[in-house]
Structure formats: C-alpha cells, structure tokens
Amino acid sequence: MTSTRPLRVPGIAYGGDYNPEQWPEEVWAEDMRLMREAGVTMVNVGIFSWALLEPSEGVHDFTRMDRILDLLHANGIAADLATPTAAPPAWFFRAHPEALPVDKDGRTLWYGSRQTFCPSSPAYRRAALRIADALAQRYADHPAVAMWHVHNEYGCHNAACYCDTSAAAFRSWLRARYAEDLDALNNAWGTTFWSQWYYDWDEILPPRATGAPPNPTQQLDWRRFCSDELLALCTAERDVLRQAAPRIPATTNFMVLRTFDALDYWRWAPELDIVSNDHYLMSDDPESDIDIALSGDLMRSLAGGPWFLMEHSTGAVNWQPVNRAKVPGEMRRNALAHVARGADGISFFQWRAAKAGAEQWHSAMLPHAGTDSRIWQDVVHLGADLKALAEVRGSTAAAQVAILWNWDARWALELPSQPSGELRFQDLVRDWYTPLWRAGVAVDFVRPDADLDRYRLVLAPSLYLVDDAGAANLAGFAERGGTLAVGFHSGAVDQNCHVRPGGYPGAFRDILGVRADELFPLLPSQTLQLAGQVPAGATATLWSERIQLTGAEPVASFADGPLVGAPAVTRHTPASGTAWYLATRPDPATLAALMDRICQEAGVQPVIDSSPDGLEAVRRSGTDADYLFLIDHAGTGAQVPATGVELLTGKPVNESVTVPAGGVAVVREPH
C-alpha cells in the first residue's frame, strides 16, 4: 500500500462485506449502531448488487445505493464500493445467452448463481464497463467512497471458459505471444509430437476434453491466457473508475488458497493501488496458522509492503464438506496474524449473517444469534484491538530469506503426465516454509527474476519450470556468496515446458554440483530411510532420483529402496557461496534439522532468539519504531524479553512481556 492513491481511512481499517439490500431498511439503523459499537471503519458494499442497480439494460436505479452511502457517511463509516460485475443479472443472460461459460466438456453453465459469464464475452465486457462507469460517475465524489472494489475474486468460479468466443480470444493472445509466427508456436508447443502441427491459426483450440492428455505447452499457454484474460477485464474496469475518480484507490480481492491457482498474481499486483486478499481456513488443515502466515507473507511480497485482508471469517464457512467453527480466541489470533504479516486492513465476509441464499450458513460479524453471542463479543473486542494498533499501519517486515514462488512453475508442475501425479506446488513450498515459521524466521516470496542480493538465503522448494534468465539469477546469487537451496524436480523444463536435456535437475545441475540420470518417484505408500548427517530415524517420501556428485558433497543418502547408497541431500560450494539440493521429501523433523543447519550456515537470524514452541513472532518495522507481534498458538502463554509498550493493553514493557495463553501481545519497540 505504498501507493500514489493511499486509502484515506485512518489506522487499520476494520469491517466486512455489507449487503443491506438483502434486508429491510428498518434493519439498517441497527447495522449502523452496531457497526459503531464494534469500531467498524469501512465496509465493502455493492459487491453483488447488479440486478438491483440496473433493473434492465442501461436503466439504473441508484436510490438504494444513495441511501446506503449517505447513511454510512453520516455514521462516519467509509465505503469500499464494489463494481457488481461478479454477478450479472438474469436479464443480461436472456439477452446474451452466448455470454454463458462453457466447460471443457462443452457443457453450458447456467445463470442462477454468480460469475456465470465467459471472460472473453464482448457483451459481458460492454455491460460490465457500463455499470462500472455509471457507478463511477455517480459516486466519484461521494464522501463515503474511500476505495473501489473491482469485481470480486476474479476467476473464483469461471477461471476458464472453453466456448468458441474464448477459442478466438485464445488465438489472438497466441498470435501476440508468438509475434504472428505460427512456426514459433509449433516449435514452442512441440507439435511434431502426435501429429499436432498447425498450418492455420484457426485450427488452434483451447485444451478441451480429449481422450488422451492434451499438449502440455498448449495447456500452460492456456493457463497464462486465462489469467491475462481476466486481468484485462480488471484493468478495463479500473481504468473506467480511475477516469472518473483519479484519487480513489482501486483493489480487487485475490485468493491465495491451496485450492485456487488460476491467476498469476505477480502480473496482477502491479496493476492495483492496493493489493488485497481473501483468506479462509481449510477445516482439514490442522495447522492453518501456517497457511495464514504463508499467504500473508506472499501478499506482502506481491504488494511490496502493506496490503489489505478483504475477507476472512469470524467462524465457520459453508463451502467445505464439513465446516469447522473457530475455537475461542482463534478468530482474534487469525486476524492479528494477518496484521503481523503486513495487513493494514481487516475485513470479513460478511457483516450480517444472511437468512436466505446460498451462504445462509456462513458465519458473519453479526451472527444469526444476534449480539448475545460469543462471535459478536469477539468482533467488538477485535475492533478495540485494531484501534489500539492504529500506529502499526504502513510498517512492513524485512526478511533475510526468500522463497521462490512462480505460477508458471506451479501450473507446469501440476499438469497431467508428470513422473508423479502427487506433486502439489503449494504443499511443497509449505513443507519448507513450515520449519522456518516454527523457528520464527521471516520470509519474503520472490519471482525468479527478483533482486536476490538483499537476502542471505534463497529457497526454491519447487521450481519445475524456470527460464534461462531465472536459472542464471539463482546461480549468480550463489556464486556471489549467497546460500541457495533447491528442491527436487526443479529446473527440469524451460518456459515452453521442454525438458532440459543432459540430466536432472536441468537448469541447476552446475550450480548444485549434481547430475541425476533417472527419476524414481515414490508410491504414496513408500517410505525410504535416510542415512548421513540427518537425525536418527530420518525418512523420506514422494520422490527420489539417481544422483551422481559432480562437485557437491553428500549430506544424506538413501539407506534402502532402489537407490540405496545414492545421495539424497547434497551441498555444493561454488565460488564463494553454497548450494544445497534436496532430491527427496524428508520427513518434517529431518527437514527442520536441515533447514536449521542451512539457516545457521547462511547466518540467518530469527525474529527473536529462542522462541518458545507454538509462539509465532513477527516484526513489522516502521519509521520510528518496530512492532513485535507475539501470538501464542500453544495455549500455554509465554514470557518474552522485550522493551517498549504493549499496544493491546497500553502497558509499559520493561524487560519482558507476557503473552497470555492463546493470546497476542504487540510491543512497540522504539528505534
């Protein structure tokens, strides 16, 4: 949020999605009173209001929105005003049935839900820009409007449409990517394989359902196209809004989730004034605190500083097989953990729990039970906490460790027809992130072309696809004295998904001082023993490969299985740096021991010395002070050396601060 269009809401903004149109107006006055009681400072309005704002094509009715914005303003609450384009009305689809999306089997997906449009539909685009423009014209100068919320979660339900219109748009995108050179596309896609050579651009289709796997590069370019196609819609709306209201910042809410990978947010983030995220816990994730931290660090990295948490939940969601409620204290820890990782705004889906509609069983700030509820008490308490943390706004975290994160590499890794179908990018990254989180080591996420020299340690847990420049950037970092660690099956293919010949791990062989001649992925039931400089009883799963050392030293080797005696973990010291290779997936304790050694050798310091188990420690640095966030996940409480003022209680801290059991402390440490 180091934007030229800053958010003009003081402190840490607090609120949620507000859908008053779903309620009679008598309820609105109560909403205002309770929002003030909870310390709400900004709400997200109009997100799904298209059908009410434009009852028929080109006919607008702003009377309700006028009253809502006036009411908010009168109550001192700002509006993050959405373009309602994630939910086109029924009349639109009756007029433009061709704008409905089509899945890869050729089935039309119908309206009656949300995001039921084809991203390449010209009719949709016209209609979306028309309503965005009408809103912008009407409300550009409304004193309540503090931010534009463009659309909602682009690609959540319609990341890819396979209709003929999308096919034509894909071909246009390809013509630009390959500079009108069809042979270049044929070579990039390797279309001599299976007689796929194209003689005419019009022969090319999206990767629709086929009997055998489609061409991998076609699939990869398709993912790139789908992300760009939605981004084009987003920037088109943003431009319309900016034209009418040049000073109001624009955001759209991202989704960094294990289950959502449709958009290349490195390409999206620079297009926005404020980067925001929606984060939800997965009920089957026993360590969702790590997921919060990972997504928060990724958001801060995408934003290059503070960001905005647009949605999370006060309790259970309604879209998982079983929706776990949060335990007492969990919602507060979650919200403050996002702030610790750089969020300058905390918002929920949604303000008031719905009576009707597909989300009637989703938690909210004001639950069905009303104010006589634990959730409401927690919501009021959190409002006070965020008020006490106002001065944290704008501060950011500095890290000595960078982790490579790349959507191209993720998409390519998870294509079908890999040596193993068990490889999941976010899981592999989280494997390595977890011991760093436990050790309280601050982490940034970076792209392969990032400036790496400001880090001591660069980790590439999973970088299956990397272009030559990216590979050279990582190698150069190690040669200049940095420490690099690379995970298995990295560097395997170039940007066109072509295997790098000569042995694995392709692009990183030289810098790692190893060469594998054959891959031995492990069955889900297979566990191998490791021997060497690893804890007793060390094991490995998922992957192995037959490595020869071409300069590296062995750190651990396989003690059984088909590769008994072959290196499993290696360490190379090219020029003045160090380059580690993990040719398998060590068990968590072994990986933690390896990470500990790698960090120590690289001179990486944790945020605080010897953080007790289960205590998350994060530091945000501001102009005049640092802010040390301490979050107790163990339920035991902790005593941590610190000096300054604990902001949540306002109490001075002399030598140490007490973190209450299951609670949070935030210490202002003056510079």
State CA 585 to chain mean position distance: 23
Q: Go through 97-133 and write b for each residue having 16 or more CB atoms within 10 A of its CB, e for each that does not.
A: ebbbbbeeeeeebebeebbbbbbbbebbbebbbbbbb
Angle at 492 between CA 464 and CA 224, to 5 degrees: 50
What's the half-sphere exposure (Cβ side, CA atoms, 13 Å) at 518?
5
Q: Say whether 311 is catalytic.
A: yes
288 and 282 in contact (C-beta within 8 Å)? yes
φ and ψ at 670, to 5 degrees?
Answer: -60, 150
In angstroms and rounded to an integer, the radius of gyration of the C-alpha atoms of the chain is 26
Taking the least distance from each CB to ligand GAL, the nearer of 268 and 280 is 280
Give the residue among 97, 111, 92, 82 at the shortest CA–CA distance from 51.
92
| Segment 68-74 long-range contacts (CB within 8 Å, at least 24 positions apart) | 68/18, 68/20, 68/21, 68/28, 69/45, 69/139, 69/142, 69/144, 69/145, 70/144, 71/28, 71/32, 72/32, 72/43, 72/45, 72/144, 73/142, 73/143, 73/144, 74/32
User: Closest separation between CB of residue 171 and ligand GAL, Å?
Assistant: 31
User: Closest separation between CB of residue 20 and ligand GAL, Å?
Assistant: 15
User: Closest separation between CB of residue 263 and ligand GAL, Å?
Assistant: 13
**What does DSSP say about strands 545-549 and 13-18: parallel, antiparallel, or unpaired?**
unpaired
Beta strands in 601-661 (DSSP E): 615-621, 625-632, 638-641, 644-646, 651-653, 656-659
Q: Among residues 54, 229, 311, 330, which one is catalytic?
A: 311
List the one residue from 142, 362, 430, 585 that touches ligand GAL (CB under 6 A).
362
Tell me the two tokens of residue 37.
């009681």
Q: Say whether 153 is catalytic.
A: yes
By CB under 6 A, the residues from 273 to 292 that bind ligand GAL are 278, 280
User: Closest separation between CB of residue 363 and ligand GAL, Å?
Assistant: 9
User: Closest separation between CB of residue 53 and ligand GAL, Å?
Assistant: 17
User: Closest separation between CB of residue 310 and ligand GAL, Å?
Assistant: 8
Q: Go through 410-441 and write b for each residue having 16 or more CB atoms within 10 A of its CB, e for each that does not.
A: bbbbbbeebeeeebebbebbbbbbbbbbbbbb
Taking the least distance from each CB to ligand GAL, the nearer of 80 and 278 is 278
Task: Check residue 263 for interaction with ligand GAL (CB under 6 A).
Answer: no
Taking the least distance from each CB to ligand GAL, the nearer of 82 and 131 is 82
Measure Cα distances from 78 to 70, 539, 621 in Å.
10, 54, 27
170 and 206 in contact (C-beta within 8 Å)? yes
Taking the least distance from each CB to ligand GAL, the nearer of 124 and 154 is 154
Residues 6+ positions from 553 with CB-CB distance below 8 Å = 570, 571, 572
Taking the least distance from each CB to ligand GAL, the nearer of 359 and 479 is 359
User: Closest separation between CB of residue 350 and ligand GAL, Å?
Assistant: 7
Q: How far apart are CA 415 and CA 496, in angstroms?
A: 13
User: Closest separation between CB of residue 201 and ligand GAL, Å?
Assistant: 36
φ and ψ at 14, to 5 degrees?
Answer: -135, 130
List the one residue from 65, 290, 317, 555 that touches ligand GAL (CB under 6 A).
317
DSSP helix/strand/coil, 62: coil
User: Closest separation between CB of residue 153 and ligand GAL, Å?
Assistant: 4
User: Closest separation between CB of residue 345 and ligand GAL, Å?
Assistant: 15
Taking the least distance from each CB to ligand GAL, the nearer of 317 and 566 is 317
| Binding footprint of ligand GAL, residue count (CB under 6 A) | 10
Torsion sign (Cα): 650, 656, 658, 664: positive
Taking the least distance from each CB to ligand GAL, the nearer of 248 and 310 is 310
Taking the least distance from each CB to ligand GAL, the nearer of 276 and 395 is 276
Give the residue among 309, 318, 322, 326 at the shortest CA–CA distance from 353.
318
Q: Among residues 54, 153, 229, 616, which one is catalytic?
A: 153
Taking the least distance from each CB to ligand GAL, the nearer of 154 and 437 is 154
Residues 6+ positions from 350 with CB-CB distance below 8 Å = 16, 17, 18, 19, 359, 362, 364, 365
Q: Go through 309-337 and write b for each residue having 16 or more CB atoms within 10 A of its CB, e for each that does not.
A: bbbbbbbbbeeeeebbebeebbbbbbbbb
Q: Which residue has the tokens 């006070």?
A: 384
Task: Check residue 266 for interaction with ligand GAL (CB under 6 A).
Answer: no
Q: List 149's β-bridge partners, or say none.
A: 82, 251
By CB under 6 A, the residues from 295 to 314 that bind ligand GAL are 311
| x-or-dash string of contact with ligand GAL, 140-179, rule CB under 6 A | ------------xx--x-----------------------
| x-or-dash string of contact with ligand GAL, 332-351, rule CB under 6 A | -----------------x--
Taking the least distance from each CB to ligand GAL, the nearer of 317 and 463 is 317
Catalytic residues: 153, 311
**Residues in contact with ligand GAL by the rule CB under 6 A:** 152-153, 156, 278, 280, 311, 317, 349, 359, 362
